[in-house]
Structure 1
């Protein structure tokens, strides 16, 4: 095919002379590559400025400049490479075709820059643009080659012609992708990557040209005379074109850098303005956040302290009083645990609205954190505070529809009065908190005013906490008492329950119901339970040495201790140190302690039971009483709480309950212990109904180790015809110390040892 004098897709003729002594000037090739690289780098800069310009006019200007840089780089590389071509024949260039090739290069470059202006580029956009640009480059090359006038005909090898076209297409696609990628970014790495991209694009353009040149063969017809080349000025012409092109590229890059710096400064100014506005908003937001709760929009703790101080200063001048009410939502934690914190937050919003609705507009309502609220109101007498608190409690009982559930919440309230109960916000809050603690200890959903006895109790509780920690650390003052458990089948004492006591230097012998709650609340209960366990095992070992080899020991295990992962190892160590067989020990756990993480509890209890230690469920019937859980637990003994036995045999229902528990336990292959046995009638009833063991004052009170052996000898002499110990009478006297700590009481009846 003859096109513009070029022989495309045509075989070499049989006639004619083939010019084989053709070569390229290396220096001009290097210059051509440098010109292409500079043009590509300038084009990437222009594409970046085009995409970052905000005005359409500026975008068009950068697009035009970028097209000139790209077209100039491609065309100059092509022209200089043609100048580098040397053949043993005279060569000159057709001006018209040379100019046409430049126009084609400009059109292809303009098309490339226009493609980059799209907001979104999909795959077919890239392919379509790459096809047009690549074909434009190929067309520019062959039009330029057609401008080469030598008198010889140019024949092109089809495979290299197609390869050149493919390289042009791939180079165009790569150029579009790279220019698109480098539109945004900054930093040294970004700049280095841009240099690499420029080299890659220039390599593709150079490869397109020289692949086509490699496929060209010059054939001089036989009828044409061979004209040798005259003066060669290709180097000077190539340097001139390169210099002009490089100046254009350098000027464009300089303009892009200047514009980038100017735009950066403008952006900095805008950012500073935005930052100032944001700082103003942040200052206002911080002021709001510093004094108001984000969830309920009530005053928070900081705002409350400030406003309350102002209220107190105002009330001091008016000689009137203030009431500070500390509110805590009853069992709120269960809402978060069961329905999630999102529902809990929504509930807090509703509760805040209820409290606001129950108070007056001049009252101060604050959320101090979690589910704790505070109300401050002016008053003339305490009855006004009481009425307001009752109004809040009544409003709180209104049903709340939330999370697909209908809930009724209650609140406990503690009240302190200014100036009677304190002169500062901190003191009044602390005293209101003590009153709140009394409300929660009284069954919740109630209100209490602060009084001096609450402070005395709190002081005494803190003192006992410190002294108990020291007593446990130094093992000073703590001791273990033992209460026998009687086997109704043999008439013998079969077990001893270990019960901790505290011989206080000031208050004398203190029962566990006075200090177990303190130990549980302050993280000492695990150490206390393990201390009792070790001492009980050692005491039982001594009893075995004195002939009481058939006895077992039972030790209590709190809910916290039951969650201690190292409990099985501690039990094993206590038995090894005392030299006892595992079957001699029985652990008592309360029913409520078992109902926590049931899977973990079963796993831990099985480890203990597999070691050979017996397990007993204490206070049965006073907790969850879940038979579904009971059948899964690896238990040996069920212990009936004394509360079921108090009115036996007088009350029919109590008798029926105990009969049902004994029958159920035996069905589950569990032995039954009934504690709190205090009358012969109770003993006879239990014996008639198949109870296995009994424990209580009818048999013996808890005694220290020093009195245990005489008591066991006495009980052994009375067996098998059991008669109550006549010299052991029920004793009970008012305990001032117990009254002082009554609000902290809450230990199990098993620990009280009746």
Structure 2
């Protein structure tokens, strides 16, 4: 029977001569076994390197090295085994067929290493791969046998042939299974186990070869004489092939060992780097503990003093100003006493975020000194920057805070000292800021004070102003209203006026609200001041009607404190009825934070006022906190965009986009939009293009008394007729003012008696 070119026979033919005296050279058999063991050990070592390699390129490299070692070792063992075969006839070998058997061995070896590269091969996967590899090794063997060229005919015993294939499959499975178990191990025990496994696998590979050789029967044709084999150099050739193979395998094993040591060094270096990183993190953690407050994550007193000394040294050398601010939360002890220290800690976290959110994130330093005391260090160009920052913080602090199921508003007292005018050392500036803080507390809290050598004199002056303001309200003497035109873009005329309160002091001259509003609020005069502004604005509306301006409306600012008074709606109704003015000509302006302070009560009060026919406007929109969910429920007519969004237009693209978004949102809610602070033609043209309804600012006019209002309105009307394309365009040389004026409305001015708002 012939199958795949091989002739199988159960019994040899009766005719012919069987060569029975074939022998093997024992030394070459031993050499072949050593080569098989070396190839097995190299394969196990390469499999271990594949398992430990971290990058795919290294895995591919060691996989190919392992495949070459296994293929070369098995093929060399087979070649040496064939050289050890001694027959009494001349046997030659076909070189191309022999080399083809090497390719088969290489394919089987590559498949074995590919399987070993898998992370967790299953037992079934091992078995499938072992079958393919075993067939490949058997194929290599029998292709090598087919390379024999002699006068005899090769017959194979089918039983031994089958057994040899099963041995090849079994040896392959054993090699795969052992290599998969040993590649992730380490230590002397596993190394000895690897040596033992190599000896056993080498014996398996050799057994397959000689079982296949045992299946061979050489039969000479009948009546033919065997050609005697020539003097052979099989021993020398076999030893040479074995030496070369062992050198190659040894080089591969040495390279694997060197790579293993190098990887261990890299792992050691990586562990050292990890340890150094952990040490750096521990050092940073210690520094965090030493220099930062654990509760608020702000810098503590120690960290602040270090930064303060550095900045003070820098400013001393380079020149410039610094401001030190001490902040103390008003009546904080009541929180701890009533709600507990846990609630107090949560409140301190919220307050710390408020303060941090009010400063310039990268330039200013915020620290917590302990308890409810905070300190801020800022670089500045003039003292007004420090005032503006303090006012921003005070404004931010008035946002309601939900704590322990309660809604509360906290205030802060602030003391400020300046470098170099108030001191040149850290200790001196901190002490002076602390003195200014105590002055703020003594003045009724919820205020700010700069250090001054004449602090007592200033306190006396504040007391005097309080008495004089009380007298001015009682006698209605000295207080006056100024009006700033509000221009309607659609009609091209002034349709509104904003009423702005001023105090003509007999000694200090014309005072703006930032000089007396805080006094009025602190001493319970704010309701009386607001009511005076309301009554005066209604009287002036009647006066305007008698002079033919019966379509003008007046916008009146209401203090946030007054929104908590239920009698406000009755006071408005009384003022309108007394002056004989239609409610539709009065507009009440309130800030968005005032609206959000107590939304439930505010909503009821605003609906009462709106039911009178009075228009409602939200002032300084964008500077505080507004919930759109509440905004759409409020009975508003107008939304006034804060001037801080207009200042940098047209240079600031972000501000332009914000203003456009506010206009679109307001129109969606069916609200008209007034933009204040308009000072240039570029701003006017931008707002006109964006669909704004009204503008207000120095481009039209500064606030003026009622007696000077008619000429201002006439001048604006003349500009409209003189410049049909742009009714507000004018030359710089005209009399209409452009420069800022301390008596004009600014973000710190007040029409009725609102809180002084910060200049941004």
Q: Tell me whether the two structures share a fold, i.e. TM-score over 0.5.
A: no
Normalised by the shorter chain, which TM-score bucket? 0.3 to 0.5
If the length of structure 1 is used for normalisation, what is the TM-score? 0.42
If the length of structure 2 is used for normalisation, what is the TM-score? 0.42
